[in-house]
Amino acid sequence: MKPLPNSRMTNHIIDRLPYPDRAIFLAECEAIDLDFGDTLTEHNGKILHAHFPIDSFVSQITYLSKREQLEVAMVGSEGMLGLPLILGIDESPWLALVQGSGPALRMPAAVFGRHLKQSPALQALLMRYLYVVMGQLSRVAACTHFHQVEARLARWLLMTQDRAHSNHLQLTHEFLAMMLGVRRAGITLSAMALQERRLISYHRGDITVLDRAGLIEASCDCYVSDRSLYRRVITEEGVTEIG
């Protein structure tokens, strides 16, 4: 088992716990590194651990068939993977695929369930986080149906940038097409349009965000709405005691 980092944690869910709860929780966490392409849970597979990304991020993908996949959520240092565990269910409705390698914390599902029962603060915080994810999932469904590919691509790049903590992203057109549920040609045209506006630069899978403010303006309102929901429910209403 790797030692836990000595510095203050950068997973915002764990950070927002009161100090006593946080210390007890961290004592039973394991520090790991997530590698690009790792599968943390299969579609309808058993959830063995709750994961809390630190400087990594994971796509949660609805899987209908090999040709029919759609990303419905992305989780980085703002959240956790293994949401069904909050409800006492150890089966995942999504395929969880690591898209950004880096450190994370994990806890065995049974141990997580014990902490959830013993810590009212953890229960309250994760119930709020579950509400946020429910809101984001409903918005993804509406966004996919109503909004243009270019705006959705801009939103997805911003979400990735937030969790990668970098302006430089490595994303192929094929991968983006799968994540957004559109044809590769649609991604190509949309990426070219964003590049012509000098919001991004793109070459053979390497994307650099050049103008974040412009990219926010080019994205649909869903990006700002999702951030506002998280801030209102988690940041402003959450437990604020920091040890």
Look at residue 226 and tell me if it is in a domain. no
Instruction: Please give the pLDDT value at position 6.
Output: 46
Same domain, 153 and 97: no
Same domain, 160 and 99: no
Look at residue 224 and tell me if it is in a domain. no
If you average pLDDT over residues 76-98, what whole number do you get? 96
Same domain, 19 and 113: yes
If you average pLDDT over residues 139-164, what whole number do you get? 94
pLDDT band for 176, please (50, 70, 90 cuts): confident
If you average pLDDT over residues 165-182, what whole number do you get? 86
Task: Give the number of domains in the chain.
Answer: 2
Same domain, 19 and 111: yes
Look at residue 192 and tell me if it is in a domain. yes
- Across 38-52, 130-144, 156-170, 228-242, least confident range: 228-242
Of 236 and 72, the structure prediction assigns the larger pLDDT to 72
DSSP 198: T
Same domain, 84 and 158: no
Same domain, 17 and 106: yes
Same domain, 28 and 112: yes
The answer to whether residue 237 scores a pLDDT higher than 80 is no
Which residues constitute the domain of residue 58?
12-120
Q: What is the CATH number of the domain that holds 161?
A: 1.10.10.10
- Across 2-11, 23-32, 141-150, 174-183, least confident range: 2-11
User: What is the per-residue pLDDT across 12-60, written as a single tens digit (0 to 9) for each?
Assistant: 999 999 999 999 999 999 999 999 999 999 999 999 999 999 999 999 9
Determine contact, residues 4/31, Cβ cutoff 8 Å.
yes
Look at residue 100 and tell me if it is in a domain. yes
Determine contact, residues 207/142, Cβ cutoff 8 Å.
no
Q: Quickly list DSSP for 179-195.
A: HHTS-HHHHHHHHHHHH
* Nearest-10 Cα torsion for 208, 214, 215, 219: -170
Spatial separation of the C-alpha atoms in residues 214 and 197, rounded to whole Å: 9
Same domain, 32 and 94: yes
Look at residue 199 and tell me if it is in a domain. yes
Same domain, 107 and 207: no
Spatial separation of the C-alpha atoms in residues 199 and 206, rounded to whole Å: 14
φ/ψ of residue 234, rounded to 5: -100, -55
Q: Give 145's contacts (C-beta < 8 A, 6+ positions apart).
A: none
Look at residue 230 and tell me if it is in a domain. no
End residue of a domain, out of 101, 120, 139: 120
Look at residue 164 and tell me if it is in a domain. yes
Spatial separation of the C-alpha atoms in residues 21 and 201, rounded to whole Å: 44
If you average pLDDT over residues 171-200, what whole number do you get? 89
Q: What is the CATH number of the domain that holds 21?
A: 2.60.120.10
Same domain, 170 and 116: no
Same domain, 111 and 211: no
CA dist list (Å): 82 to 2, 45, 141, 152, 201 = 21, 11, 21, 26, 35
Same domain, 114 and 178: no
Spatial separation of the C-alpha atoms in residues 186 and 189, rounded to whole Å: 5
Q: What is the mean pLDDT of the chain?
A: 90
Instruction: Please give the pLDDT value at position 4.
Output: 53
* Per-residue b or e along 129-158, where b marks 16 or more CB atoms closer than 10 Å to that residue's CB: beebbeebeebbeebbeeeebbbbbbbbbb
